[in-house]
Structure 1
Amino acid sequence: VSEIVNTSRGKKPSSSNARNVIKELTQNGISEPADFFRQLPSFQVAYHRSGGRFEHASTMRYFSCKKLRYLWCDETKKFTKLHGLDVEVPSPAIHHAKGLSVYEQSIRRLIYGSNEIFIPLRGVLTLLFLEVLNPFYVFQIFSVVLWFCYEYYYYAVVIILMSAFGITLSIIQTQRNQRALYSTVKSNDSAVVIRDTLESETIETRFLVPGDVLEIPSNGCTMQCDAVLLSGNCILDESMLTGESVPVTKTPLPLKRDLIYNRKEHARHTLFCGTRVIQTRYIGSEKVLVKVLNTGNITAKGGLIRSILYPPPVDYKFEKDSYKFITVLGFVAFCGFVYTLYTKISRSVGVIKIIVESLDLITIAVPPALPAAMTVGRMYAQKRLKRNNIYCISPRAINVSGSIDCVCFDKTGTLTEDGLDMWGVLPKDSTNSFQIPLKDIGRLPMSDHLLFGMVTCHSITFVNGEMRGDPLDLKIFESTGWILEEANVSDETKYDMLFPTIVKPPRGDSRDDLNLELDVAYDNSNDIGIVREFSFTSALQRMSVITRKVSDNHFNVYVKGSPEMISSLCLAESIPEDFQTQLGFYAQQGYRIIAIAYKQLDKKLNYSKVQKIAREKVESELKFLGFVILENRLKTDTEEVIESLNAANIRSVMVTGDNLLTAASVAHDCGMLLDNQSLVTITAHPEKGNSSRFFLSYDISGQRQLTQSDIINDNDHRVVISPSDEKLKNGGGNYALMTESNSISSSIDTCTITTQLSGGAYEKEDHAHRITIEADQVGDHLAKQIACGSFRFALTGKTWSIVNEHFPELVPTITTYGTVFARMSPDQKQQLITQLQTLGYYVAMCGDGANDCGALKAAHTGISLSEAESSVASPFTSKNPTIACVPSVIREGRAALVTSFGIFKFMAAYSLVQFASVVILYSIDSNLTDWEYLYIDLFIISVVAFFFGKTSSYDGPLVKQTPSNSLISLAPLLSLALHMMVAIGIQLAGWYHVQAQPWFEPFNYTTDRELNDHGCYENYTIFSISCYQYLILAIVFSKGAPYRKSIFSNYGFIISILVNTALAIMLTLYPPHWLMEAFELVMPPEEEGFRFRLYLVAYGFINFLLSLFIEKVLVDEIAFKRLRYRWHNAAKSRRKYLMVQQRFLRDIQAPSDFKTVYGWSNEKYDY
């Protein structure tokens, strides 16, 4: 906890004196506020708590954690997070545009710090120190020191070189990641601030503090702080935060006494740090001013960087289990250590020899080469990914990707191409029926109101000579061929103009061009002026414009939006009878459908009245004109990839910042939502008269299976009534959405449906979260749908936040069954990832924007399709911008996980086998010789481990069964235990077999110890058998399909096995004389003992057959595939989502329980 204390007394310095001091200090290279205040007679620190007023204090206690500061509050006796001007600040306080003096700016900077996002760059020595502190490497250092004491130099040097190689690679990669993030975040700029004297001054942006008033330059800039717009308009590119490349227009914050600024509610008035101001617009000579809300680490960009630097901890389960397993091996080593001490002391062995050999037993039981072997396996996987243009900056993440059972996708730029493509239009004729669809927009009559709506109802504007706007608006307008012209003034002054935009028909032929060149007047009777625009909002699902044709003496209104909303605003007689049929037909094919309507305003309305008319009056009693049909094309690989993930039982989730309806359509198209699944849209609503109370409505949409549907608007509430199949239709059943008690009647063909709906059937203390549908057949049908899992949830980020805050008990169910999460902010994306992980999913996130950074970092596996900011936060980056990389990463991850398991089991088993060999030999005070150790460790184990991981991933389809990711589970533990029993049993069999031979002479530890000789018949037997066992273990632990290719495709591995097998047989049967001397082998007599040599080879073959049976039958088939599920208990499983699903299905089957949780009964369906 730090304290800033004022130790001087006196008058507050004047602004001019303070400026002079700062100028002098800056020229001398000093720019910190503390240095400035040392030369002032007095100072106080300033900070904001609430209300827009800054409190001053001579002493302030605070601490910093994860780049955020927490201040001590004497009133609450708590530390509270330091805020800028974005918390509980009324609009008048923000609009107080008086700037800050240099002194006030400086004392605020004492608390808020420099307006910089600092990325710490750790040096090589620091990284080396942190890397070496890994428990494995600490043990390696201990082992190497011991080996040098034991004069076991060769293998020690090999281990040092392998470990140095792994540590060097890790440090190089970490430094690259640090520099990449630093270069992404580092930004130096200047800004024009308005002082308290209303003078302008240019300063470096790092000196900005909350409360500063800035002037935004007309040519734009990159925002270095969060600020709220006070005057003028700004057009921003917010792709860095939202991922959407659509320019956003920001308007000034309204000046209202009762308006309290809220960052989310007033986002359209806020310029966020990291976003780029493309252009400003102002009235006359008025400046575009903003007030700084947040600086440094508490800005929007600061939050993004914090999510990269401090992500939620990823559960590297394999690594955790490996530490536990090493602990078990350590316990085994300790038992061997105690046994060795006892046997050596009982034989009066020298103290030094006892200590060295006892400690050496620990290095045998716990393999020091394990980290190097694991590193080599991941290195091969990394190289294979690189060949597929997938770059990995965190090899640890490769193993984790093998456990992935849920993949979250961004939509735009990830699943789909950027933008929409025009398909055509479906106009309505004079008989109130739909015409045939027109794909050529040029065939629309020049006097058609549908055409006029397409060319005027948009928010397109010119920025630096280029048309910019929503991609949907641009695509529709460009398809018409019309020309957009704005008033002949500079872009910056196009603010709140009365008549700024005109649209003109396309020029028909070369005569129009000639007339234009000759300045000959052309017929402008079809030119249309856009007088007023009502912007699109997702809540209203529409936008509208008021226009006037040059040749007309009245104004027209054109409204564009979702078909459901537009139809509810139209006169009933203007809606074609087959409206729902046509809508359902195109919706089923996944098209994006936009409806357009219009009406003629009263001729008495003039320009000034048009500017004041209320939106509600404009957008009413409309006449329906037709549909505009667009398609958001999926990327070429999207459907195939989603299908492969579905086949592998890997859940796919869409988490996007885009519109919910668009996201739902894409989810249907790409296969995330299957044809037999209904989408249940959850929407949170505040209660009337009490905005702090909420309830949830569930819109059950089975549009892909509907035969009919009807949409009614009753008291501004949308009600969807849809028979789901013929049985329900004949029985009068329906699905319905309602927010409060109403009686709805609708006629569909010859079937009349009358349904009572009421809200608040389930009451909590503060909230109600379902509606009641009194329709037995609907309830029964939907219950069956839910029971068989044929539904999925969809919701927006706004609803997600409300559910998390007010309905936390529903979060697990919604997260488990949710498929479409739309309008999600970067923070909400990260929250969803974390929630999925909490439920036990292993989550991958695939995205292409900076707004995905937090989610990419939080996920177990982050895959970026961009080389920009998101690649810094993501372990994987694909050069191919399609989701085809996802199965590749999962496939390689599964192969790497199986490889890691195999290598770990192999190294552990090798250690235990060698441990058993040494303990057996220690019983007669013998041991393996130095060259035997070296041959086993270097030529068998190291060579086999090096090639072990080279087996490529399986190139067939992904299978449903994910490989085991837990070392502390039935299959791996049973595997190791059985193999060890067989290995030790075979060694003991050979041990007693050799002692029963007539030519056998027992080892005399008293005589041979003086000669420092370990060679004996027992040594030869144990060494020969163990050589076969190491190779056998390598073969049985090297798994093939369905996660890796056959080991026969790994030529290096096969050759190393064959060569070592040949060497082992040679050493058993006929070793050369020089090898016999080097290995100190005491061979059985050639005539009498040759049969025993053959027995040793037979022992190896028997061991191979037994080990193969254990691994392939007992472990893989019985323990892993059968007993694993038979003994599985969902209640105790770490995969909590299984329990959520189980409880949900149980509640449906037990009506009394389900009624308690979800409101179900035999008489009505509450949801």
Structure 2
Amino acid sequence: MMDKQKRGRDYATVNIDQVYQELNSGQTGLSSEQAHNLLEKFGLNTIQKTKRESQFKVFIKNFVSLMAILLWVSGFVAIFAGTTELGIAIWCVNIINGLFSFYQQHAAQKATDSLLKMLPSYTKVLRNGKPQQVETSQIVPGDVFTLQAGDSVPTDARIIEAISLQVDESALTGESVPESKSATYKKGDGQFAESNIIYAGTNVGNGTATAIAVATGMHTEFGRIAKLTHSQKKTISPLQLELNRLTKQISLIAIAIGITFFLAAIFFVHYPVAKSFIFALGMIVAFIPEGLLPTVTLSLARGVQRMAKKHALVKDLNSIETLGETTVICSDKTGTLTQNQMTIDHVWLPSKEYQVTGKGYYNNGKIQVNQQDIDLKNEPDLNLLITIAALDNDTQVQEVDGKAKILGTPTEASLIILTQKAGLDPDELAKNSPRLREFPFDSDRKRMSSIQKIDDQTQRLCLKGSLSDTLKHCPYILDNGQVRDMTDDDRDKISAINKTYAAKGLRSMAIAYRDFAKVMTKDELAQLETEQAEQELVFVGLTAMSDPPREEVFDAVKKCHAANIKIIMVTGDSTLTAKSVATQIGIVSDQARVVTGNELDQMTDEELGEALAGEIIFARVAPEQKYKIVSALQARGEIVASTGDGVNDAPALKKADIGVAMGKMGTDVAKDAADMILTDDNFASIVAAIEEGRAVYSNIQKFLIYILTSNVPEAMPSILFLFSRGLIPLPLTVMQILTVDLGTDLIPAIGLGSEQSEPGIMNQPPRRRDAHLLNKGVIWKAFAWYGLIASAISTFAYFFTNMQNGWPEVALASSGYNYHEATTMTLAAIIFTQIAAVMNCRTQKASVFKAGIFSNRLIWVGMVFEICLLAVLVYTPFFQGLFNTAPLNLRDWLFLICIPIPLFLIEELRKYVARRIAAKQKVSVN
């Protein structure tokens, strides 16, 4: 008895009796006692998920980030400065933000967990010599089980018996064409191609089989790739890195300003040390953007909500912003760019070629060719080809809720759908021409045929198969309704058209028939040998099929190119098919280089890096090779998104900056490794995610401009106080500064976090890796443009109010009603300049009118809240004492109301001029 499980492929060349002996099993399977002992020894037949952090650890992380720590410190500073209420308010903001962030992460994870279902629930197993339904997780090495069309393979297994067995291994290989399997060993081409070994996580497309489990759980190929996935540590997202950097920058700026003001207050104004310290602490708190973390979280959460409506489930909030920075998408082909559904594109007859078009199933007895309806009554050769393809077929296709439900192989399904498109009923055809004998498909002769009763005098062999293996048995050809001898010219012509289809990435299938000279009895039919029956065939024509691209993918690819995002197809499919699909949907041009998995193995890192700089497609790749490609791209400084649905995609999904798995067709391992799951398996949803990701980053930057804008007018009063050596009393108190930061600014700032993507955002390249949130443009706009204007207006408001009270004849008051009135007016002026600023910050280049003046309701709620809060502060006696405010009169309100409109229009004019200059520069470059 074995002590550990070997790989499934190790049993491929071993005699089946030796397999029984090694696994201590037999044709009747295991006993219940044996199965119990093996289950104790090897564990459940399940795929372990990536080990997650404890919920407590995830919860705590939301309260100990750099920005969160800065907020905790800010609260202490505020309390130390004598403003206990505001210090507690800062802490409340931190607590609410942490809870909100944790809730979003938990909700996303919960939704994701509901999708993670891959392996079948039950399998028919022989135990104690009798068949019984057993939970898949309970299967052990040595169990003998049976499979039929539609079943998922529960373990890696050695085939004992098989009839017409075809297995879809796309989850492992990425190859869309099903593999023929049998009990006889043949090595095959590529990984997982052993003819007598089937693998966990794959699906039976056609036929039946009896097999013995040889590897279970994490010992299967499915599980081994999962281990490779689990070994990869997820790196910190670019947004997290940038926020950490921003926090350090703002902290250093705030501390530097605080130290400067502290020293200036002592040595320039001659303030007492204690008073200077409190004054400096107030400045530090004023320069810390308390709303940054809530705004970032809300921006990401809103992006997640919008993406959920667009069929994309984000597992990690930061992932959506990371996708917005993506420079390269490594995309699987099957099921991601294509529909994973074989479709007949061309039908070739010796007398005519048809390009099949049209959608749906039944088409009123006509088939669409080149957008024109063709009546089969007038096309007897075409009618015969379709009838043969439908009769020599074991697959059923049903329409369920407007979609095709296939029981069988995709190849045969394409022929059934072709029949239905033509208005023929496959069931009716089978009823009228019942099957008398079947010769199943096998990988040796690469053909399938069946004998049908056409009428009392005619028995017809209907055959389909590969062209090379069919044509050599066809001495005759059907040409325009007449059967004649096939010539060498005919064979050359057929071979030429087949090569043309192959160059386009199409898979061709030959259709032929034979009418027997005499009607055979049941015994004669039973004794008829395959090779004897499949002779003297009449060649009818070819069908050429493809796995068509998704309809939405064409526009999605165009948008990616407009956004300077490179798409690299990485597939297990053939080179011809990969290049054909990639060029058809516009990913690459005809000049693109195709690199196979074998070629990739021979490449050095330098050679691979050079190849990745140009147009490139990867075909016939293995799981570890996809991982290598992603790593090479990251080494070149690219931010990589890797998409996929199979087990073979999982390591690359985990390694990539963001992994995007398919929700419907995706395997458990792929979903577990990914950062985002597309619930509709639609590549076009990725483009929507990119746009949302860019909007998130843009919104965070807009918030930063807005919040920093108020820092300048907040700092200006202190600058005036210092440079006048105290002759100008502080135009703004510390409590009033914090009122702007934590009170009036917070809701409008959060409103910016929920702003829709700006028009034209997808016509810009991804932001550079060395670009930062706090850059020269942000600093110039916040400090030298918005900030200076706001400072000038608020300073004027301060002196204007003092002028009403007799200044300069009367000295500036440093306390009392007049002083509170002047500081209140300064505070109010800052608030009203911020109303203009939040509208101006809604767009960076486009006009706000184009984005929609009233499209962001939260912005308007914030502005109303600002004015209402100001009214409460200046007219409520309790708050007047707490915030050193005084009532404003009608003249003051009229002055304040006039502030936002001209500031908004001036900025609109600046944006207009900037757009005109950019347009002229673009024209001159072109």
Question: What is the CA–CA distance in structure 2 between the aligned matches of 1:637 and 1:354, rounded to whole Å?
Answer: 64
Alpha-carbon spacing, 1:915–1:329, altered in 2? closer, same or farther (3 Å): farther
Contact between 1:652 and 1:672, CA under 8 Å: does it hold in 2?
Answer: yes
* One-letter amino acid of the structure 2 residue matched with residue 403 of structure 1: E
Correspondence for 2:777: 971
Correspondence for 2:199: 272
User: What does 1:96-495 align with in structure 2 at a 5 Å threshold?
Assistant: 96-99=19-22, 116-119=46-49, 120=51, 123-150=54-81, 152=83, 155-156=86-87, 159-176=90-107, 178-179=109-110, 184=116, 212-217=141-146, 223-229=153-159, 235-238=166-169, 240-241=171-172, 248-252=179-183, 254=185, 264=191, 266-276=193-203, 288-292=211-215, 295-297=216-218, 299-303=220-224, 305=226, 313=234, 316-342=237-263, 358-388=280-310, 390-422=312-344, 425-428=347-350, 470-476=409-415, 483=430
Correspondence for 1:7: none
Correspondence for 2:597: 800
* One-letter amino acid of the structure 1 residue matched with residue 221 of structure 2: A
Correspondence for 1:779: none
Contact between 1:115 and 1:205, CA under 8 Å: does it hold in 2?
Answer: yes
SS of equivalent to 1:903: helix
* 1:952 is aligned to 2:752: no
SS of equivalent to 2:223: helix
Greater relative contact order (Cα < 8 A, sep 6+): 2
Correspondence for 2:365: none
SS of equivalent to 1:274: coil
Alpha-carbon spacing, 1:1101–1:371, altered in 2? closer, same or farther (3 Å): same
* 1:812 is aligned to 2:741: no
Query: Once the 2 structures are TM-superposed, how far is the Cα of residue 945 of structure 1 from its aligned partner?
Result: 1.0
User: What does 1:746-1145 align with in structure 2 at a 5 Å threshold?
Assistant: 791-795=591-595, 799-818=596-615, 820-824=617-621, 828-844=625-641, 859-860=656-657, 866-867=663-664, 869=666, 874-877=674-677, 882-911=682-711, 914-915=714-715, 917-918=717-718, 921=721, 924=726, 926=730, 928-929=732-733, 932-933=736-737, 935-954=739-758, 958-962=762-766, 966-967=772-773, 969-976=775-782, 978-979=784-785, 982=788, 986=792, 998-999=808-809, 1001=811, 1015=819, 1019=823, 1023=827, 1026-1039=830-843, 1046=851, 1048-1050=853-855, 1052=857, 1055=860, 1079-1081=883-885
Alpha-carbon spacing, 1:1095–1:984, altered in 2? closer, same or farther (3 Å): same
Alpha-carbon spacing, 1:881–1:598, altered in 2? closer, same or farther (3 Å): closer
* One-letter amino acid of the structure 2 residue matched with residue 264 of structure 1: Q
SS of equivalent to 2:22: coil
Correspondence for 1:526: 460
Q: Deviations over 1:95-123 (max 9, x none)?
A: 55423579999999999776543344655
Contact between 1:650 and 1:960, CA under 8 Å: does it hold in 2?
Answer: no
User: What does 1:27-106 align with in structure 2 at a 5 Å threshold?
Assistant: 84-85=6-7, 91-92=13-14, 95-99=18-22
Contact between 1:223 and 1:276, CA under 8 Å: does it hold in 2?
Answer: yes
Give 2:585's match in structure 1, choosing from 654, 663, 670. 670
TM-score w.r.t. the length of structure 1 is: 0.58
Question: What is the CA–CA distance in structure 2 between the aligned matches of 1:665 and 1:495, rounded to whole Å?
Answer: 28
Query: Once the 2 structures are TM-superposed, how far is the Cα of residue 324 of structure 1 from its aligned partner?
Result: 1.6
Question: What is the CA–CA distance in structure 2 between the aligned matches of 1:164 and 1:370, rounded to whole Å?
Answer: 14
SS of equivalent to 1:288: strand
Contact between 2:337 and 2:683, CA under 8 Å: does it hold in 1?
Answer: yes
Alpha-carbon spacing, 1:288–1:488, altered in 2? closer, same or farther (3 Å): farther
Question: What is the CA–CA distance in structure 2 between the aligned matches of 1:843 and 1:199, rounded to whole Å?
Answer: 52
Contact between 1:864 and 1:871, CA under 8 Å: does it hold in 2?
Answer: yes
Query: Once the 2 structures are TM-superposed, how far is the Cα of residue 373 of structure 1 from its aligned partner?
Result: 1.7
Query: Once the 2 structures are TM-superposed, how far is the Cα of residue 943 of structure 1 from its aligned partner?
Result: 2.5
Contact between 1:117 and 1:185, CA under 8 Å: does it hold in 2?
Answer: no
* Structure 2 unmatched ranges of 5 or more: 25-30, 357-368, 398-404, 420-425, 478-485, 515-525
Query: Once the 2 structures are TM-superposed, how far is the Cα of residue 650 of structure 1 from its aligned partner?
Result: 4.0
Alpha-carbon spacing, 1:572–1:649, altered in 2? closer, same or farther (3 Å): farther
Contact between 1:864 and 1:878, CA under 8 Å: does it hold in 2?
Answer: yes
Contact between 1:1029 and 1:1100, CA under 8 Å: does it hold in 2?
Answer: yes
Question: What is the CA–CA distance in structure 2 between the aligned matches of 1:845 and 1:1100, rounded to whole Å?
Answer: 46
Correspondence for 1:639: 554
Question: What is the CA–CA distance in structure 2 between the aligned matches of 1:307 and 1:1043, rounded to whole Å?
Answer: 49
Question: What is the CA–CA distance in structure 2 between the aligned matches of 1:571 and 1:816, rounded to whole Å?
Answer: 49
* One-letter amino acid of the structure 2 residue matched with residue 1052 of structure 1: R
Contact between 1:415 and 1:638, CA under 8 Å: does it hold in 2?
Answer: yes
Query: Once the 2 structures are TM-superposed, how far is the Cα of residue 948 of structure 1 from its aligned partner?
Result: 2.0
Question: What is the CA–CA distance in structure 2 between the aligned matches of 1:856 and 1:203, rounded to whole Å?
Answer: 33
Alpha-carbon spacing, 1:1003–1:323, altered in 2? closer, same or farther (3 Å): farther
* Structure 1 unmatched ranges of 5 or more: 1-14, 16-44, 49-83, 513-521, 537-541, 548-554, 560-569, 601-606, 679-790, 1127-1167
Query: Once the 2 structures are TM-superposed, how far is the Cα of residue 903 of structure 1 from its aligned partner?
Result: 0.9
Q: Report which stretch shifted further, 1023-1032 or 802-811.
A: 1023-1032
User: What does 1:579-598 align with in structure 2 at a 5 Å threshold?
Assistant: 592=506, 594=508, 596=510
Query: Once the 2 structures are TM-superposed, how far is the Cα of residue 631 of structure 1 from its aligned partner?
Result: 6.3
Query: Once the 2 structures are TM-superposed, how far is the Cα of residue 350 of structure 1 from its aligned partner?
Result: 7.6
Query: Once the 2 structures are TM-superposed, how far is the Cα of residue 172 of structure 1 from its aligned partner?
Result: 3.4
How many residue pairs match? The answer is: 844
Question: What is the CA–CA distance in structure 2 between the aligned matches of 1:902 and 1:800, rounded to whole Å?
Answer: 45
Question: What is the CA–CA distance in structure 1 between the aligned matches of 2:291 and 2:343, rounded to whole Å?
Answer: 57
Query: Once the 2 structures are TM-superposed, how far is the Cα of residue 936 of structure 1 from its aligned partner?
Result: 1.3
Contact between 2:705 and 2:779, CA under 8 Å: does it hold in 1?
Answer: no
SS of equivalent to 1:117: coil
Contact between 1:1048 and 1:1054, CA under 8 Å: does it hold in 2?
Answer: no
Question: What is the CA–CA distance in structure 1 between the aligned matches of 2:275 and 2:217, rounded to whole Å?
Answer: 62
Question: What is the CA–CA distance in structure 1 between the aligned matches of 2:496 and 2:463, rounded to whole Å?
Answer: 33
Alpha-carbon spacing, 1:358–1:228, altered in 2? closer, same or farther (3 Å): farther
Query: Once the 2 structures are TM-superposed, how far is the Cα of residue 208 of structure 1 from its aligned partner?
Result: 7.7
SS of equivalent to 1:419: coil
Alpha-carbon spacing, 1:1122–1:364, altered in 2? closer, same or farther (3 Å): farther
Query: Once the 2 structures are TM-superposed, how far is the Cα of residue 1081 of structure 1 from its aligned partner?
Result: 5.0
Alpha-carbon spacing, 1:110–1:878, altered in 2? closer, same or farther (3 Å): closer
Task: Give the percent of matched residue pairs that are identical in Structure 1 and Structure 2.
Answer: 17
TM-score w.r.t. the length of structure 2 is: 0.70
Q: Deviations over 1:683-722 (max 9, x none)?
A: xxxxxxxxxxxxxxxxxxxxxxxxxxxxxxxxxxxxxxxx
Query: Once the 2 structures are TM-superposed, how far is the Cα of residue 839 of structure 1 from its aligned partner?
Result: 3.7
Question: What is the CA–CA distance in structure 2 between the aligned matches of 1:1057 and 1:494, rounded to whole Å?
Answer: 70
Contact between 2:167 and 2:202, CA under 8 Å: does it hold in 1?
Answer: yes
Contact between 1:899 and 1:948, CA under 8 Å: does it hold in 2?
Answer: yes
Contact between 2:795 and 2:826, CA under 8 Å: does it hold in 1?
Answer: no
Query: Once the 2 structures are TM-superposed, how far is the Cα of residue 370 of structure 1 from its aligned partner?
Result: 0.9
Query: Once the 2 structures are TM-superposed, how far is the Cα of residue 944 of structure 1 from its aligned partner?
Result: 1.4
Higher helix share: 2
SS of equivalent to 2:143: strand
Contact between 2:323 and 2:658, CA under 8 Å: does it hold in 1?
Answer: yes
SS of equivalent to 1:140: helix
Question: What is the CA–CA distance in structure 2 between the aligned matches of 1:336 and 1:447, rounded to whole Å?
Answer: 84
Alpha-carbon spacing, 1:985–1:1062, altered in 2? closer, same or farther (3 Å): closer
Q: Deviations over 1:991-1037 (max 9, x none)?
A: 99789952453576xxx7xx9x9957985686465445544543443
